[in-house]
Homo-oligomer: A and B are copies of this chain.
Amino acid sequence: MIAVDWGTSSFRAYRLDDGGAVVARRESARGITQVPAGGFPRVLGEEIGGWLDGGETIVLSGMVGSRQGWVEVPYCECPAGEQEIAARLHRVELEHATAFFVPGVTGFDTAGVREVMRGEETQILGAMDELPGEAVVCLPGTHSKWVRVRGKRIVGFSTHFTGEMFAVLKAHSLLGRMLEAGAPDEAAFLAGVARSGAPEGLLHHLFGVRAKALFGELSAAGAGEYLSGLLIGHELRNALGGAPDAQVFLLGAPGLVDRYALALRSLGADPRPLGAHSAVNGMRRLAPSGFSGR
């Protein structure tokens, strides 16, 4: 079996042996935005063609199953667990393999507004056995997800624009022009997290980054860390809502998970980082014929 985690900006493939262990991997920057219309079978062949000897099962998860991807797979409605998601795999016969696309999940935020994810549901399924019966899982990233899990099913979730906001402000705003890359600066990061609790809101706090730098209260290197802390702090306070001391499971790239854990601890919450590679675990569980772990 082959597991393919194909997102907006990256391609990751894992070859699994019959016992479910990863025996080979391929990684590239050929995310779905780098693939021309109709080019998905060709790119897949270029990336992992050597692995295919006929009759392989490939499970694909992430934005590859979106309108901008290979094929648009309808979302699975919450509550969504392994059974519901596996039942909605989208099968496509390829020349030397059979592909199964994992559907994204749709549900509602706490105010009843429609939400969507593609890829994170697979990571959560892969980490499900590490979660208690009721849990909040945060997957930090370009679009951070805060997922409510109950009885091994995703029951609802909320997305925060945090990572994209940081990237866009850094690259294209007046604030970005002041920022310089520098060594990690935990004090500046935590000062940003603390500031996020002040009155007058995010749009006001953002301008304060400029005023602080203008008056020499922030270095050009520290300003980036402060901005990161400010945005993550706003996300965390809003996501924690009335439960600032909540237990929050963290799932994602180790550096980002560390950053979120640091901020969560500073707010009095209880961060619980989960193991990496949950996407592969999730796809192994979803694969439709007898692999271990399923």
Chain A interface (Cβ < 8 Å from any Cβ of B): 109-111, 113-116, 143, 158-162, 164-165, 168-169, 171-174, 195, 198-204, 206-208, 211-212, 214-215, 217, 231, 234-235, 237-239, 241
Contacts and interface: CB of A to CB of B under 8 A. Distances in A.
B109 A234 contact: no
B241 A113 contact: no
A195 B114 CA distance: 13
Q: Indicate how many identical chains form the complex.
A: 2
A215 to B, nearest CB: 5
14 contacts: A109-B204, A111-B200, A113-B212, A114-B208, A114-B215, A115-B208, A158-B204, A159-B204, A172-B172, A200-B238, A201-B202, A201-B238, A202-B234, A204-B239
Contacts of A161: 203-204, 206-207
Nearest to A198: B111
Given A110-B200, A161-B204, A204-B109, A172 B174 contact: no
B164 A199 contact: no
A198 B241 CA distance: 12
B174 A109 contact: no
B168 A200 contact: no
Given A160-B200, A162-B203, A201-B235, 8 more contacts: A114-B212, A160-B207, A165-B206, A168-B168, A201-B238, A202-B234, A204-B238, A204-B239
A158 B200 contact: yes
Given A109-B208, A198-B111, A203 B238 contact: yes
A76 to B, nearest CB: 15
B168 A204 contact: no
Contacts of A160: 200-201, 203-204, 207
A234 B203 contact: yes
A291 to B, nearest CB: 33
Contacts of A211: 113-116, 159
Determine which residue in A116, A173, A200, A215 has the highest number of CB atoms from chain B within 10 A of its CB, and name it: A200
Nearest to A171: B172
A199 B109 CA distance: 9
Nearest to A145: B207
A207 B239 CA distance: 14
A174 B143 CA distance: 11
Nearest to A67: B214
A114 B207 contact: no
B231 A201 contact: no
